[in-house]
Amino acid sequence: MSCFMLLNSSVPLEKYMSLIDENRLKNLYESDPPLYSEAAAIQKELKDKVVSKNGFNQIKTIAGADIAILKNEKKLICGIIVFSYPELSEIERVWEVVDEEFPYIPGLLAFREGPAIIKTYKKLKVRPDVLILDGQGTAHPRGFGIACYVGVLLNIPTMGIAKKKLYGDYQDPQDIPGSYESLLSKSGEQIGVVLKTKAKTKPVFVSVGHRIDLSTSREIALTSVRGYRIPEPTRLADKYVAELKRGL
């Protein structure tokens, strides 16, 4: 099944078509190489759909999602683990393998990995209140990273926790767990936070995906730390897909 068909089946057709025209996305995936300008234009248009307010009354469950690559087979392995919150007791885990139909292009990660995450999410019996992705949300050159992409297309609360900065300027936070500084765009707009989760380690980069605000995203990231630099949802999802990759 192609990437555009995966996306089409992830939300009601009439709603999806109002976000990205099917033929337009089909042409993007079938272009060789993909047209960067067209993908960037789609991101800029969908940016206006991002809601930076909480779309929930309370948070009882959260989930982490990550991707591993089978380079020789040109396939992606996605794993998602759902936890109770704030206890972080595991509730469910699911995985899926899909064809890699979009190459790695900096700034366009969502077009490569988004379809795999969306398809895997559909397998969950317990839909989390917030889905955390290993990547950027609004902390992106066009304000629309993979956490925004998945959140907007599924219309669910999402946030990004990235290991490295993709875009923006910041000052280093104090070397105290919980310390943070604003991540700013070139125009001075706050697009995320640089959060110190553990002393004597590098910070992580937290940003809004969809239907969540930045302060709540930061709180979830910090309260999900269990002795490691990376918060547990995405840390364990990363470990999960690595195990699946070895098995495959």
Per the structure, the count of domains in the chain is 1
Q: Convert the pLDDT of each residue in 177-232 to its tens digit.
A: 999 999 999 999 999 999 999 999 999 999 999 999 999 999 999 999 999 999 99
User: What is the CATH number for 15?
Assistant: 3.30.2170.10
- Structural domain harbouring 61: 3-247
pTM of the entire structure? Answer: 0.92
Would you say 147 and 209 are in contact if contact means Cβ atoms under 8 Å apart? yes
- Position 98 scores a pLDDT of 96
- pLDDT score, position 18: 55
Give me 215's structure tokens. 């302060």
| Closest listed residue to residue 127, CA positions, set 157, 161, 96 | 157
DSSP E strand boundaries for the chain: 61-70, 75-84, 90-99, 130-133, 158-162, 180-184, 190-195, 204-210
pLDDT range class, residue 4, cuts 50, 70, 90: very low
On average, the pLDDT of the chain sits at 92
pLDDT in tens, 72-112: 899 999 999 999 999 999 999 999 999 999 999 999 999 99
pLDDT digits (tens, 9 = 90+) for 119-157: 999 999 999 999 999 999 999 999 999 999 999 999 999
